[in-house]
Amino acid sequence: MTVKGTAFKYGNNVDTDVIIPARYLNTTDVKELASHCMEDIDETFPKRVKQGDIMAGGKNFGCGSSREHAPIAIKESGIVCVIAESFARIFYRNSINIGLPIMECPQAAKAIQAGDTVSVNYDTGEIVIENKGLCFKAEPFPPFIQEIISAGGLLKKINNEQRTTNN
């Protein structure tokens, strides 16, 4: 599967408190979380992001607390993939668990600039900055992670399997 969108670019050590400020953690409304995503680092992000956009970051993206609110806010804002030099491990796992595709590719993350048109092939790991003609290779997701992402997250995958088993 290939996705293509406009890039938003952030730096190193973007923590979960910046992705979704703690003052909004009392809501379970995913649209409300999305409406405040990144606002403390980029107040225009919630208004400019569109379904299908891509986010790029530097090293240690998603560091901080282990809350799932951060990847949920990113996914619900319309971002279809986050590309970074590296991810905090708990953010990486939380992202997969909620069905947000994320890819570690230091070269691509460094080369992507805000406004670039970026395409990502989840099956091959190919990342292309189309307006610059640059192509990079990330490690593609193994099949079991592709299944989780395709289902929309781990819980949805499990629920789908249980429905199939029960029918």
Q: What is the pTM of this model?
A: 0.93
Q: What is the pLDDT of residue 49?
A: 98
Q: What is the pLDDT of residue 73?
A: 97
**DSSP H helical segments within 8-166, as ranges?**
16-19, 30-34, 45-48, 69-77, 89-98, 106-111, 143-151, 154-166
The whole-angstrom separation of Cα 167 and Cα 107 is 47
> In which residue are the tokens 């530097």 written?
58
Q: What are the residue boundaries of the structural domains of the chain, listed by start?
A: 2-140
Q: What is the pLDDT of residue 167?
A: 66
Q: What is the pLDDT of residue 72?
A: 96
Q: Which residue numbers in the chain have pLDDT < 50?
A: none
| CATH code 3.40.50.20 for 2-140 | no
Q: What is the pLDDT of residue 161?
A: 79
